[in-house]
Amino acid sequence: EPEVTQTPSHQVTQMGQEVILRCVPISNHLYFYWYRQILGQKVEFLVSFYNNEISEKSEIFDDQFSVERPDGSNFTLKIRSTKLEDSAMYFCASMKQGYGYTFGSGTRLTVV
Amino acid sequence: KQEVTQIPAALSVPEGENLVLNCSFTDSAIYNLQWFRQDPGKGLTSLLLIQSSQREQTSGRLNASLDKSSGRSTLYIAASQPGDSATYLCAVIYNQGGKLIFGQGTELSVKP
């Protein structure tokens, strides 16, 4: 069964450093998303991406965040200057019209 | 504000019991509703997708129902097993390609 692949599975970074989280969505899906889950809290929407542009973003997704689809397969989330409160599990998801979402296994980001 | 609530927050049952997990949403004009399973520290696994025109979906021992007019969905698990122990998340989507809005989940523990 097709999967959404995320790397790395765990990343530790110093506060103020830039991090890039990587995702390979399912190949015939057209909608791509990033969500995050702070420990013990709800899964929160960050951004959606369709037709090579951001289609929606949440208030969490400020200027410190950016997304890219640099080639036909990868989808990345960049955090420019990490803060302690960015520590969370980050999930990538993709969707095909008429079908539900498929999520990756997540990247656990720890900012120290 | 569009919100999703899940009751109960936690549930512990002996193996073999049938159980019902509840999900309610404040805005009934949903496009789809999806149930997920999340094991500790892991990603989200899709269980069932119900489109707004459907009343229920079944997969194995799982049955999800949808009552749009009352803003409710239930997930029925038959003959529960210890392997069903996980957090179950309900999420709604309000337009094609739109974001998922998650409930806080029900943490299920099935005792042998």
Task: Report whether pLDDT(A85) > 80.
Answer: yes
* Residue A99's pLDDT band (cuts 50, 70, 90): confident
pLDDT digit string (tens) for B30-62?
Answer: 999 999 999 998 899 999 999 999 999 999 999
Give yes or no for A55 touching B (CB within 8 A): yes
Residue A88: per-residue pLDDT? 97
Q: What is the pLDDT of residue A71?
A: 85
pLDDT digits (tens, 9 = 90+) for B89-99: 999 999 989 99
- Please list, residue by residue across B70-99, b when 16 or more beta carbons sit within 10 angstroms of its beta carbon and e when fewer do: ebbbbbebeebeeebbbbbbbbbbbeebbb
Q: Residue A95 and residue B36: Cβ atoms within 8 Å?
A: no
pLDDT category of residue B72 using cuts at 50, 70 and 90: very high
A101·B46 Cβ contact <8 A? yes
Amino acid at B92: V
Is A97 near chain B, with CB under 8 Å? yes
Query: Does residue A25 sit at the B interface (CB-CB below 8 Å)?
Result: no
**b/e code A53-82 from CB counts within 10 Å (16+ = b):** eeebbbeebeeebebeeeeeeebebebeeb
Helix (H), strand (E) counts: chain A:
0, 11
User: What is the pLDDT, as a whole number, of residue B80?
Assistant: 97
* Residue A38 contacts B where some CB pair is shorter than 8 Å: no
Residues 24-43 of chain B with CB under 8 A from chain A are 32, 34, 36, 41-43
Mean pLDDT, to the nearest integer, of A84-88?
97
